[in-house]
A and B are shown apart, each in its own frame.
Chain A
Amino acid sequence: MALSQMPRRLNRVAVSSLSRTLRHGDIPFKGALALSSLSLFGLMIGVGLMLWLRSGLMRANAGLSFITATVWNPVDEQFGAAPFMIGTLTTSLLALIIAFPLGLFIAIFLAELCPLGLRGIIGFMVELLAAIPSVVYGAWGIFVFIPSFVTPVGNALMGALGNPQRFPYLPIFQGPFFGASKLAAGLILAVMILPTIAAISRDVLLAVPRSQREAALALGSTQWETIWQVVLPYGLSGILGAVILGLGRALGETMAVTMVIGNVAQLSTSLLRPGYTMASVIANEWGESRTPLYGSALIEMGLLLFAMSLLLNIVARLLVWSVARRTPEQRA
């Protein structure tokens, strides 16, 4: 009721002059947009600053040796981040190695070859996969994925390639192997980042102009050559963007990983051995971190993860730029 009565009560002249001063909404609109974007800087600085300040005790205590130390022993207050950093990097890279080609193939199929009716269904399923909560992936990992897939695959790999006498230079498949492992975590992560990579790559490929394909076909290319030599290079920077997003999710994933990785803070080269990741140890031990130094060490772990994601993002961004610069003639 109030809304309909208001206009009559207010002075029309005053409103129109106010409206004019604000250039009919241009200024507030621009202001709101700018403020939203600037809040990103605020958030980044706020998070970074908090991590930096709260980790002060640990940084003062151990300095850079925190990064290289390999022992994590809360009882003696010895804190080293190396096993966790290696764990995070190994599992994320493994996930990327598996999910990138798979996601790209799904995207190519959906964008180029798929009958229209099927495209909707598969696309819907890809998006549905992205919506499953990670704790559900973790539970599925423990009860279904590890016993029915990871264990047989791991045992086969260990049997074929894990003999230290026959393959002394291939330590990544050596046992003992019990199921929960870096391999399991990498595979779960691959499943989790697959929808991100597939969905974004598909949208990128669909955005490639039809003229590009027609030109390639007119020059006598087969469909395979068109996709491989024209469509993919055209969309490459977008596809790399999809990979970066996927990698970001893999680096920060906590719940699903901690449920299948075995949570062992030990440096080991074998993918079949349990490991630990940076995000998982923070989630696992934060609640019971009794002493200031312990808490500070966990915060510094967060700081390192923050820095690592930042670094990987910058590297990936540079990669995208260099790719974009190398193929200028294709972006007419």
Chain B
Amino acid sequence: MVTRKLLLISMLAVALIVTGCASATPQVIKETVVVEKQAEKVVKETVVVAGTPQVKEVVKEVIVTATPEPVDAAGSIKLNASGATFPQPLYEDWAFAFNQRDPSVVINYAGGGSGQGIKDIKAGTVDFAGSDALLKDADYQEKPDLQMIPTVAGAVVLAYNVKGVTATVTLDAAAVVNIFSGKIEKWNDPALAALNPDVKFPDLPINVVHRSDGSGTTNIFTLYLSAVSEDWKKGPGAGTAVDWPVNKLGRGQGGKGNPGVAAAIQNTNGAIGYVELAYAKSNNILYAKMVNASGKTVEASIPSTVAAIKDAKFDDKLTAVIVNSKDPEAWPIAGFTYLIVNKGYKDCKKAEKIVSFINWALSDPAAANRASKLLYAPLPKEVTPRVIEVVNKITCNGKPVVSK
């Protein structure tokens, strides 16, 4: 009886306290403080009224930040982004570095996949998005305001595991297509032997490992296969997930993410699969050299990826396919990753900071250094001005953010 009453009363008391606190939330105080000179008075008054320790702390913070300077308060501009996971480590690193330069900007890049990023920017829930896949005509028709901005390029390599073969294998376009379409069945195939006269291949069936999750890496790799083979273009085609012909033959398997593919390769004798260069390099996986479009055997690296970008031909949407580059030094299996922005924003501060972030990321040598360190190929000087030009055209309520 008594305990029940006590319970009821205490519940009431808790409810009262909660509602009491809620009426003195920090946001309310902040809003009053924004009215500049009166700030301190108002703040003191609130202190008297509210009188709880939490509120006092908030007030202190407010006094510090409520300086009459026109400089934006630290962390006051939050840019939200989501999308491709392939460039996520770099974007997070860039966001961190940019916040050091301009503390007012906090960029929060949430990953989730290219598809997620495209959905989010179309719905307007993010300020910009990351994507490995290109927007389709339907996307532009629906949202003509979208603009793709290439940021860095990545390379995709072919990793393999054949017991007894420790040398670096060389492959050419035909061999890769035939392996992935199942026409080359065994490692001791004459085509592979001809490319690698010094390597002794065993009589071992080839097991092809591909990504099971939809992925920009798959997109780049299948774009390459489509570029070098008409049959592949007409058959499986290119995309973030495709219907692999080897699966029908029972010699294919899918691994989740780069780690999943790498693990499947390492645990299957006779396996070959594609992973990102950055992943293969940092995990000491054996990967093949490639004969590129001009007939030269090249090794996958940052310089050879940059060579592939140099002669990139951008279309009017600022996108370019850079697989199978004609440059003699170029790594043939490479692709851009993009930011998707709006051509016009409503929030001028956000627009201004987005433009300055992208400008910094694409033209500051420090940003390029950070990219190279993480094994992404930064945009070469031949390409950057063209991209920056488009970025600087971003408007806010119809007016360009960057004055000429």
Contact = CB atoms under 8 A, between A and B. Distances in A.
Partners in one complex: yes
A293 B349 CA distance: 36
Interface in A256-274: 258-259, 262-266, 268, 270, 273-274
Interface in B232-262: 236-244, 247-248, 250-256, 260
Interface stretch (B93-101, B111-119, B146-154, B361-369): B111-119
A227 B304 CA distance: 72
Contacts of A289: 115, 214
Interface string A257-300: 01100111110101001101000100111111111001100000
Given A74-B240, A75-B236, A75-B243, A262 B256 contact: no
Interface in B8-32: 8-10, 12-14, 16-17
B151 to A, nearest CB: 18
Given A6-B9, A263-B212, A288-B113, A75 B238 contact: yes
B5 A16 contact: yes
B267 A15 contact: no
Interface in B109-132: 112-116, 118-119
B92 to A, nearest CB: 17
A259 B4 contact: no
B174 interface: no
A286 to B, nearest CB: 7
A10 interface: yes
B1 interface: yes
Nearest to B207: A178
A18 B113 contact: no
The size class of the interface chain A forms with chain B is 35 or more
Interface string B256-289: 1000100110011011000000000000000000
B8 A18 contact: yes
Interface stretch (A140-148, A214-222, A245-253): A140-148
Given A15-B5, A24-B1, A264-B247, A143 B205 contact: no
Interface centre among A10, A258, A262 (most CB of B within 10 A): A262
Interface centre among B115, B236, B255, B271 (most CB of A within 10 A): B115
A2 B17 contact: yes
Contacts of A19: 4-5, 8
A103 to B, nearest CB: 28
Contacts of A288: 113-116, 133, 213-216, 240-241
Contact of B250 (A3, A143, A175): A175
Interface residues of B, number: 56
A180 interface: yes
A48 interface: no
B4 A24 contact: yes
B213 A287 contact: yes
Contact of A178 (B13, B136, B268): B268
A266 B246 CA distance: 10
Given A74-B214, A287-B214, A264 B243 contact: no
Nearest to B114: A288
A25 interface: yes
A289 B253 CA distance: 20
Interface in B204-235: 205, 207, 212-216
B254 A263 contact: yes
Contact of B12 (A10, A72, A258, A285): A10
Nearest to A76: B237
B260 A6 contact: no
A264 B213 contact: no
Interface string A166-197: 00000000011011100000000000000000
A201 to B, nearest CB: 33
B252 A74 contact: no
Contact of B112 (A15, A18, A175, A287): A287
Contacts of B1: 24
A157 to B, nearest CB: 15
A2 B138 CA distance: 61
Contacts of A276: 212, 254
A3 B12 CA distance: 9
Given A6-B13, A142-B267, A266-B247, A287 B116 contact: yes
Contact of A176 (B7, B114, B138, B205): B205
Contacts of A24: 1, 4
A274 B244 CA distance: 13
Contacts of B237: 75-76
B6 interface: yes
Contacts of B5: 15-16, 19
A287 B216 CA distance: 11
A166 B13 CA distance: 80
A322 interface: no
Contacts of B114: 287-288, 290
A65 interface: no
A63 to B, nearest CB: 21
A286 B115 CA distance: 8
A49 B14 CA distance: 37
A72 B264 contact: no
A71 interface: yes
A171 to B, nearest CB: 12
B240 A179 contact: no
Contact of B242 (A74, A258, A294): A74
Contacts of B7: 25
Nearest to A25: B4
Contacts of A223: none
Contacts of B213: 283-285, 287-288
Contact of B243 (A15, A73, A295): A73
Interface centre among B13, B113, B116, B241 (most CB of A within 10 A): B241
A3 B270 CA distance: 71
A270 B250 CA distance: 10
A117 interface: no
A274 B252 contact: yes
Given A3-B13, A10-B9, 15 more contacts: A19-B8, A73-B242, A75-B236, A75-B237, A75-B238, A75-B241, A178-B207, A178-B270, A262-B253, A263-B212, A264-B252, A265-B247, A266-B248, A274-B250, A291-B138
Pick the 9 closest A-B CB pairs, nearest first.
A287-B113, A288-B214, A263-B254, A263-B212, A262-B253, A73-B243, A75-B239, A6-B13, A284-B213
8 contacts: A25-B7, A146-B267, A178-B271, A258-B256, A265-B247, A284-B213, A287-B214, A288-B241
